[in-house]
Amino acid sequence: MYRIALNARLLIPGKLEGTGRFTHQCYKRLVSLRPEDKFLLIFDRPPPMEFDYGENVETVCLLPPARRPWLFDVWFDYAVTWKIKKWNANLFVSTDGYISRRTLTPQLNVIHDINFEHNPDWLPSRYSKHFRKRFPEYARFATKLCTVSNYSRVDISKCYGIAEDAITVIPNSSDAMFIPIDERSKQAARDQFCEGKRYIVFVGSLHPRKNITGIVKAFEEYRRRGGSSELLMVGVSMWKDEKREALGVHYAGRLNDNALAKAVAAAEAMLYLPFFEGFGVPIIEAMACGVPVVASNCTSVPEVCGDAAAALVDPNDYDAAAKGLLKLEVDREFRQQVIQSGLMRSKDYSWDRSAEILSNEIDQLLNA
C-alpha cells in the first residue's frame, strides 16, 4: 500500500475548466484503479462533496487559498510541503503544473502548456512574470514530468532543456455526456441559446489566446458570403472583458455540464481559432457529438484534430475559416464525411486510457 497525495486545488464545483476537468477525470479513475493505496486530496478551500472518490480517500483544506502569485509560493512550498511530510506521503501528484520546491517527497507534475513563455502579454504582468520564473523550476524539480500533447512535450523540452523522452504525454478526452443528439433536442437547444436559429459554436475562455476577435471576424465574413447560422460563444472572460459584439453573435456565459453538452451537440459546426493551445478539449467534445470542426492550423490543434477537421486554417485567415464553414453548409456529402471522421477521431481519446497512463507512471516512480 502506498500513500499518494493529490493536488486538488482546481476541483471547484461548477467551474471545472480544462485543467480542472483533466484533474477530476484522472483522479477519480486513479482512485478506482488503485484500491489498495491511500489518497489525500489537498484543497485550498473547504473540500466539496462532489469529489468524494471513495473510501480510500481523505481530504484536507490547507490555508492560505492559493489564488495569487505570492500565495502560490506559500501554499505549495510551505503548506503542501508540511502536509505531505506529516501525512507520510510516498508521492505528491499535481495536475496543474505547480509543485513544492521544498519537499524531498517524489513529485509527478503535469504541465499542460507554457503559453506564457511565448505570449506573456496575454496575462497580467504579475502572473506572467511569476509563471516565467517558477515554471522552469517546477519542470526541473519534478521527479516525473508529464503533459497533454506531443506539441507541449516538444515545447517544454525546448524551452526548459528537458529531454523529450523524459516527458510523458497524458492526453485529455471528452466526457461521456458529449454524444450526438436528435433533431428535437437540437431545436430545444436552438430555442434556449439562439432564439430558435441554427448556430455555429465556440467553447472556451474569452481570453486573448483564444482569438475571440478573430472568431467574430471570421463569422462576419461567413455571413457576408451568404452563411445563415448564428454564432454562439460559450465561456467567460478571465482577466478583462473580451466580448466582441456583432450581429448574430450570442454569448451564453459559463454553462453547467449538461447544458454545455447540449449546446455543443446542437451546433451546425464548431469554429475554434486559438493562437495557442496545449491541447484543445472542445475539439474532441464537438467531434464526439458529431459536430464538424473548423480550427486553427497551429500549436497542438492539428495534432488533436488529426485528419478529421473540416478545415485547418491560419487563425488570422478569416476568409479561409468562412469558406470552411460555408462548405459544410452547402456540401452535404462533405459534411457527413467530416462528421464520421470526427466521431472516429474522438474515440482515439479516452479518460480511462489517460488514467492508466498516469497510474503506470506512478508505479514507475514508486517502484524505482
Q: What pLDDT is recorded for position 258?
A: 95
Task: For residue range 272-329, list pLDDT tens digits in order.
Answer: 999 999 999 999 999 999 999 999 999 999 999 999 999 999 999 999 999 999 999 9
Q: What pLDDT is recorded for position 16?
A: 86
Q: What pLDDT is recorded for position 259?
A: 97
Task: For residue range 119-153, list pLDDT tens digits in order.
Answer: 999 999 999 999 999 999 999 999 999 999 999 99
d(CA 226, CA 326) in angstroms, rounded, equals 8
- Please say whether the beta carbons of 40 and 4 come within 8 A: yes
Report domain 183-346's class. Answer: alpha beta
Q: Which of 322, 151, 128 is nearest to 225 (CA)?
A: 322
Helices (H), 168-317: 183-193, 212-224, 257-265, 281-288, 301-305
What is the rounded average pLDDT of the residues 39-61? 96
Q: What pLDDT is recorded for position 166?
A: 98
Q: What pLDDT is recorded for position 241?
A: 83
Percent residues over pLDDT 70 in the chain: 100
- Please say whether the beta carbons of 338 and 310 come within 8 A: yes
d(CA 119, CA 121) in angstroms, rounded, equals 5
At 240, the pLDDT band (50, 70, 90 cuts) reads confident
Name the DSSP letter for residue 237: B
At 15, the pLDDT band (50, 70, 90 cuts) reads confident
Cβ neighbours, 10 Å, residue 362: 22
Q: What pLDDT is recorded for position 3?
A: 98
d(CA 325, CA 218) in angstroms, rounded, equals 9
Residue 238 confidence (pLDDT) above 90: no
Contacting residues for 81 by C-beta, under 8 A, at least 6 apart: 100, 102, 103
Contacting residues for 113 by C-beta, under 8 A, at least 6 apart: 147, 148, 152, 155, 276, 277, 278, 279, 300
Report the mean per-residue pLDDT for the chain: 97
Q: Which of 184, 186, 216, 212 is nearest to 198 (CA)?
A: 186
Amino acid present at 83:
K
Question: What are 16's three cell numbers?
Answer: 471545472
- Please say whether the beta carbons of 123 and 37 come within 8 A: no
Q: What pLDDT is recorded for position 17?
A: 85
The pairing of beta strand 57-61 with beta strand 230-234? unpaired
Task: For residue range 63-94, list pLDDT tens digits in order.
Answer: 999 989 999 999 999 999 999 999 999 999 99
Q: What pLDDT is recorded for position 242?
A: 87
Question: What are 324's three cell numbers?
Answer: 470552411
Per-residue b or e along 169-178, where b marks 16 or more CB atoms closer than 10 Å to that residue's CB: bbbbbbbeeb
Cβ neighbours, 10 Å, residue 78: 14
Q: What pLDDT is recorded for position 107?
A: 98
d(CA 8, CA 62) in angstroms, rounded, equals 11
**Cis peptide bond prior to 65, omega within 30° of 0:** no
Multiple choice CATH, 3-173+350-366, 3.40.47.10, 3.20.20.140, 3.40.50.2000, 3.30.230.30: 3.40.50.2000
Q: What are the start-end ranges of the E strands in the chain? A: 3-7, 38-43, 57-61, 91-94, 107-110, 144-147, 167-169, 199-203, 230-234, 249-253, 269-272, 293-296, 311-313
Q: Where in the chain is the domain with CATH 3.40.50.2000?
A: 3-173+350-366, 183-346
d(CA 84, CA 219) in angstroms, rounded, equals 50
| pTM of the predicted model as reported, rounded to 2 decimal places | 0.96
Per-residue b or e along 243-281, where b marks 16 or more CB atoms closer than 10 Å to that residue's CB: ebeeebbebbeebeeeebbbbbbbbbbbbbbbbbbbbbb
Task: For residue range 209-224, list pLDDT tens digits in order.
Answer: 999 999 999 999 999 9
Q: What pLDDT is recorded for position 311?
A: 98
Question: What are 354's three cell numbers?
Answer: 489517460
Residue 229 confidence (pLDDT) above 90: yes
